[in-house]
């Protein structure tokens, strides 16, 4: 399983500071940049031959104050970049659970997303498992959460058949069709990618995914905060990422004019660079399946497990393309290389003007803030409230700071040890 150490590339540090919520509400000030806001900022940086890491320096922050205007508030951007302690705590928490982080500036960021979505590709991807699977493609299998046993058995058999023929499964990780397809592929030794709309940390620790993650057969990714709960908007929006990471898609069942499966398939069928979209047409299917055929989806072959499924699909897709897409502009080959958003930079883990040094652990990251609050006597619960963390965590930090003679305990309260020689350094 690929995991980052606590040191991230400087560009990724900057993009996290700009776009990540670090587990806080999206209404918390300063609000992180939205996808569209970050894309506007990235475009301005490109025009000036700058990159996100440049914003971490004093000159970079001066550039923001001098050059950023309009819909982007320069002071908000500067405040976002000053959340270094929050970044350190968050990165330690994510990596301790096996998560890795990719930004749009990383070479390992999946080119499929950039190729299809361009500036709409997510600035940050959080993930766990085999990172290389994001570049493999495969069959997207999606469907409604509510599905009967017949539909689940169909999903399982299709996923097993594709996996046995070496085709990866891409899905959304939701209960029902998504999870059935992903777990069926793993059961026969295949690989799968799950694009989650919520609860990535919970999924990363889930027993049902444990073996697949350990064996390198699975990658779970999300463009949303790893601790975020369910949000209907996020569930809708992640559909485009499922399609972008796949070569073709199969809709097992879809309601008509409602739900994420319908919205995602309908949106994909409108795309200039759409992948082939197939629909299950046998068994107990929903009205949305029939309607998607009218929008340009293709009927999935009956009992495909009796054939070489890929050859069968490729032949049908070729005929379909010749009949109705003769004038479609040439699409990029999957093997063509998409230039990175920012030119590659040589990384040096030694501190320099671009690098935001990350403390060794959460305690070191929080220590300056802890000491700042202890300029006056405070009880441990007061400090916990100020830092917005649990009382147990605060007591552990206070115990360590007392051992290091940075803090004194006076009855039930705590205060700076002003006689200690390290305090001037911590406040510099």
Q: How far apart are CA 237 and CA 167, in angstroms?
A: 25
Q: Strand, helix or coil at 109?
A: coil
pLDDT at residue 34 tops 80: yes
Indicate the pLDDT class of residue 310, thresholds 50, 70 and 90. confident
pLDDT digits (tens, 9 = 90+) for 101-134: 999 999 999 999 999 999 899 999 999 999 999 9
Using 50, 70 and 90 to split pLDDT, how confident is the model at 355? Answer: very low
Q: Does any domain span residue 242?
A: yes
Q: Are 133 and 41 contained in the same domain?
A: no
Enclosing domain of residue 417: 362-426
Question: Average of pLDDT values for 405-414?
Answer: 90
Judge whether 346 lies within some domain. Answer: no
Mean pLDDT value of segment 285-294: 93
Tokens 């990235």 -> residue: 42
**Are residues 244 and 129 both part of a single domain?**
yes
Q: 181 pLDDT exceeds 60? A: yes
**Bridge partner residues of 410 (DSSP):** 413
pLDDT above 70 covers a percentage of the chain that reads 86
Is residue 70 one of the residues assigned to a domain? yes
Degrees to nearest 5, angle at CA 417 with 416 and 422: 100
Mean pLDDT, residues 293-312: 83
Mean of pLDDT values over 148-158: 94
Phi, psi angles (nearest 5°) of residue 141: -115, 115
Are 413 and 294 members of one domain? no
Q: Over pLDDT 90: what percentage of the chain?
A: 61
| Confidence tier at 387 by pLDDT (50, 70, 90) | confident
Q: Based on the domain organization, do 247 and 391 belong to the same domain?
A: no
Write the DSSP assignment of 359-401 as a string of letters.
PSSHHHHHHHHHHHHTTS-EEHHHHHHHHTS-HHHHHHHHHHH
Rounded CA gap, 141 and 247, in Å? 11
Phi–psi pair at 270, nearest 5 degrees: -90, -10
Q: How confident is the model at residue 368 (pLDDT cuts 50, 70, 90)?
A: confident
| pLDDT at residue number 370 | 84
Instruction: Supply the pLDDT for residue 142.
Output: 96
Report if residue 347 sits inside a domain: no
**Beta-strand pair 407-410/100-103:** unpaired
141 pLDDT higher than 90:
yes
Calpha distance 264→285 (Å, rounded): 18
* Domain membership flag for residue 412: yes
Look at residue 346 and tell me whether its pLDDT is greater than 80: no
pLDDT for 322 beyond 50: yes
Residue predicted with more confidence, 341 or 325? 341
CA distances from 409 to 246, 311, 387, 415 (A): 58, 74, 19, 7
pLDDT of residue 208: 94
Greatest Cα-to-Cα distance within the chain, rounded to the nearest angstrom: 83
Confidence of residue 397 (pLDDT cuts 50, 70, 90): confident
Walk across the sheet containing 378-379 and list its strands.
Answer: 378-379, 413-416, 407-410
Q: Read off the pLDDT of each residue in 301-314 and give the average, rounded to a whole number.
A: 76
Is 101 domain-assigned? no
Note whether 395 and 309 are same-domain residues.
no
What is the chain's mean pLDDT, rounded? 86
> d(Cα 237, Cα 256) in Å, to the nearest integer?
18
- The listed range with the strongest mean pLDDT (4-8, 266-270, 306-310, 404-408) is 266-270
Which pTM does this prediction carry?
0.76
Residues 260 and 368 in one domain: no
- Domain shared by 280 and 392, yes or no: no
For residue 323, give the H/E element and its range. helix 309-324
- Domain contains 228: yes
How many domains in the chain?
3
Higher pLDDT, 335 or 412: 412
């Amino acid at each position: 399983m690929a995991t980052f150490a606590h040191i991230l590339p400087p560009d990724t540090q900057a993009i996290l500071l700009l776009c990540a919520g670090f587990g806080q509400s999206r209404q918390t000030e300063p609000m992180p940049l939205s996808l569209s806001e970050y894309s506007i900022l990235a475009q301005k940086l490109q025009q000036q031959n700058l990159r996100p890491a440049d914003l971490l320096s004093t000159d970079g922050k001066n550039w923001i104050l001098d050059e950023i205007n309009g819909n982007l508030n320069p002071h908000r951007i500067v405040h976002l970049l000053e959340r270094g302690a929050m970044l350190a705590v968050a990165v330690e928490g994510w990596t301790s659970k096996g998560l890795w982080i990719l930004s749009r500036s990383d070479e390992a960021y999946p080119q499929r997303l950039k190729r299809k979505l361009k500036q709409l590709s997510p600035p940050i991807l959080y993930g766990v498992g085999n990172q290389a699977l994001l570049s493999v493609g495969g069959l997207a299998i999606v469907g409604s959460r509510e599905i009967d046993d017949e539909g689940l058995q169909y999903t399982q058999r299709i996923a097993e058949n594709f996996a046995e023929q070496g085709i990866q499964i891409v899905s959304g990780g939701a209960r029902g069709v998504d999870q059935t397809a992903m777990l069926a592929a793993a059961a026969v030794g295949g690989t799968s990618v799950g694009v989650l709309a919520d609860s990535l940390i919970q999924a990363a620790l889930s027993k049902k995914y444990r073996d697949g993650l350990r064996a390198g057969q699975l990658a779970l990714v999300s463009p949303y905060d790893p601790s975020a709960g369910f949000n209907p908007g996020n569930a809708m929006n992640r559909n485009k990422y499922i399609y972008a990471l796949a070569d073709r898609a199969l809709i097992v069942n879809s309601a008509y004019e409602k739900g994420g499966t319908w919205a995602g398939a309908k949106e994909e069928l409108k795309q200039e660079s759409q992948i082939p979209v197939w629909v299950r047409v046998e068994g107990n299917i929903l009205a949305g399946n029939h309607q998607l055929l009218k929008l340009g989806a293709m009927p999935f072959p009956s009992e495909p497990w009796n054939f070489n499924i890929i050859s069968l699909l490729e032949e049908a897709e070729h005929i379909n393309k010749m009949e109705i897409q003769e004038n479609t502009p040439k699409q990029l080959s999957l093997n063509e290389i998409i230039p990175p958003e920012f030119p590659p930079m040589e990384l040096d883990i030694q501190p320099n003007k671009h690098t935001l040094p990350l403390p060794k652990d959460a305690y070191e990251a929080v220590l300056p803030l802890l000491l700042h609050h202890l300029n006056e006597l405070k009880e441990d619960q007061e400090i916990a409230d100020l830092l917005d963390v649990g009382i147990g965590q605060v007591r552990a930090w206070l115990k360590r700071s007392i051992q290091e003679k940075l803090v004194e305990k006076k009855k039930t309260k705590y205060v700076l040890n002003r006689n200690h020689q390290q305090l001037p350094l911590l406040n510099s």
